[in-house]
Structure 1
């Protein structure tokens, strides 16, 4: 599945996202994978590290309304930057999505970041990261969340 997503252009990934239902079954730990064209996959990790979250691993959903990011340091995973989760209209197309918000009290740049999740299947979500700044609010950066056992 990821190989298929990696064959798609950014525009094609956004089109695929538009076809999916809002993510619903999000409890537990989810590993992140960068998807899309090679240049996007190659730049995603360093971009996240530069924004203050080096070693980003994925997310853990504590309950339907809250989650935390997971960061890998050596063999350990630590939790940071809690988020609230609610169903909202997507910034991309106005259709329902699971939206993760960091809140105004979170450090920059995360207070301006919103992750949106739509369900590919029971084990995977296609996600978009948006930055709520002029010129960036409509530009979603894709990634995949894969449920871990």
Structure 2
């Protein structure tokens, strides 16, 4: 990270090795940007291949934040913007439980809807993931949701 003063007196913040996951304009002079380390990009698993001993199997859900694409088991799926932002946030923070309010603030900071909106988008994401992968997004009762990559 580097902070530099520009000739016009403004400050510039440069974050190395981070990519924007989502950008939302809050007002005419304020932006809300979610940054994350770059992903290696989608990988296509070889059918029947097992990872070497001691290594974890690749995550079935691959997020490419730069291209804003989602691949499940090597198959790219179309996903609306709001659902992409939600899935990217969960996948980039695996095993961490988020409340609905935390997800709303992180993913859609300018949204004035009920936090039940998260429930609707989670249900849609689970349908898109399909029957074999819908359990990757788990409900943490009394809290909210978390993403659990396969072991």
Q: Please give the range of the TM-score, normalised by the shorter of the 2 chains.
A: under 0.3
The TM-score, its normalising length taken from structure 2, stands at: 0.26
Structure with the larger RCO, 1 or 2 (CA within 8 Å, 6+ apart): 1
Q: Which structure: greater strand fraction?
A: 1
Q: Which has the higher helix share?
A: 2
Bigger Rg, which one: 2
- Structure 1 length as normaliser, TM-score? 0.27
